[in-house]
Amino acid sequence: MELLKVVSAKYASDFKINVTFNNGCKLVCDLANTLRSEVFEPLQDKAKFKKFSVNDGVVEWPGEIDIAPEYLYKIGVAQPGSKKLPEPEYVSWTA
């Protein structure tokens, strides 16, 4: 079983990013609610939010802030022309 990984991520708008996963799914992930938690509070500044990158299959920001691919997959909505596959069997928690 292959672990879920982010292949690429691009800024979409507001606090949304377009994410492509290693299973071929292309999802739009709205992180506005997620950024309300203390850990992600620095990313409420849109200029800081836009400074993400993908490293070893994970979306991360400067300051050692990252977010699990499984979480992004859980909250993501299929981009136009893409289909969201069922979550991998090993993902058993809820967002």
pLDDT digits 0-9 by tens, 16-36: 999 999 999 999 999 999 999
pLDDT in tens, 72-90: 999 999 988 888 877 776 6
Structure confidence at residue 2 (pLDDT):
77
Determine how β-strand 65-67 pairs with β-strand 16-21: unpaired
pLDDT > 90: percent of the chain: 77
pLDDT value of position 84: 82
Question: Which CATH code for domain 6-78?
Answer: 3.30.2020.10
Domain regions of the chain by residue span: 6-78
